[in-house]
């Protein structure tokens, strides 16, 4: 862990060096804003875990994800790309990027529960082991029986090392059977559709239609990923 933290600190410095070498007006400020937004979202996420908060709503989750994922994954890369070409980033990049970031994160949460381990590349049910507040978990809690809710909260109060694999498997089964995954996917689909529509409109007047089409395709893959 200490080696990983030190490597991360070093890479962070290299990132700033790359921004400065690019000498793109506005890039420094854009990158700084992205770091502030992402850190704010990460703080909210970690604070929920630290304080054992499960009295949360889907809107709480969506706002956290807009900060934690939307700016880092979509909004700032889009804006930096525009700045690198000498173009003022369209205002629509922000709203579209936040929607696309939400769609990406929800799909990632879904894959963590129902994805193929080999294709996903991460630990299946890792979010449950870590006690992550996902749209799926919050949606399921809203319809869980009293007994199910009690089992869930008792297990989530434990550290990752102390969690019982059989109980985690039972919770995973309950969530899969409840319809919460399908509900989350509908939310992801709606955000993806709105984000892609906004992005298409923002790119309509791009001077290089081929490059704009390639960019749109990449964002479409990100927001509708299946693995």
Q: Do 57 and 138 form a contact (C-beta atoms < 8 A)?
A: yes
Which pLDDT tens digit goes with each residue over 9-64?
999 999 999 999 999 999 999 999 999 999 999 999 999 999 999 999 999 999 99
Q: What is the DSSP letter of 122?
A: S
| Distance, CA of 174 to CA of 64 (rounded, Å) | 25
Report the pLDDT averaged over residues 165-181. Answer: 95
- Indicate the pLDDT class of residue 187, thresholds 50, 70 and 90: very high
- Indicate the pLDDT class of residue 123, thresholds 50, 70 and 90: confident
C-alpha distances out from residue 205 to 55, 72, 193, 208, 218, Å? 45, 25, 20, 9, 18
Which pLDDT tens digit goes with each residue over 76-112?
999 999 999 999 999 999 999 999 999 999 999 999 9
CA-only gyration radius of the chain, Å: 19
| Distance, CA of 217 to CA of 84 (rounded, Å) | 20
Q: What is the mean pLDDT of the chain?
A: 94
Q: Do 64 and 41 form a contact (C-beta atoms < 8 A)?
A: yes
Q: What domains does the chain contain, in order, with CATH numbers?
A: 27-223 (1.10.600.10)
Residue 120 has pLDDT above 90, yes or no: no
Sign of CA dihedral 48, 53, 54, 59: negative
């Amino acid at each position: 862990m200490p080696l990983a933290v030190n490597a991360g600190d070093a890479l962070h410095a290299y990132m700033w060096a790359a921004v400065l070498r690019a000498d793109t007006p506005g890039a420094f400020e854009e990158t700084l804003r992205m770091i502030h937004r992402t850190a704010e979202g990460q703080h909210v996420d970690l604070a929920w875990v630290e304080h054992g908060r499960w009295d949360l709503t889907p809107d709480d989750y969506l706002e956290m994800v807009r900060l934690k994922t939307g700016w880092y994954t979509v909004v700032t890369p889009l804006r930096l790309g525009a700045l690198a070409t000498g173009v003022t980033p369209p205002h629509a990049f922000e709203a579209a990027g936040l929607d696309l970031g939400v769609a990406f994160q929800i799909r990632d949460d879904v894959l963590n529960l129902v994805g193929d381990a080999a294709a996903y590349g991460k630990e299946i049910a890792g979010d449950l082991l870590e006690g992550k507040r996902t749209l799926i978990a919050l949606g399921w809690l809203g319809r869980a029986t009293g007994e199910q809710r009690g089992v869930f909260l008792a297990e989530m109060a434990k550290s990752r090392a102390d969690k019982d694999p059989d109980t985690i498997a039972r919770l995973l089964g309950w969530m899969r059977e409840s319809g919460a995954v399908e509900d989350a996917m509908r939310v992801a689909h709606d955000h993806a559709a709105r984000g892609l529509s906004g992005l298409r409109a923002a790119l309509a007047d791009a001077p290089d239609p081929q490059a704009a089409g390639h960019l749109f395709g990449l964002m479409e893959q990100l927001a509708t990923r299946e693995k």
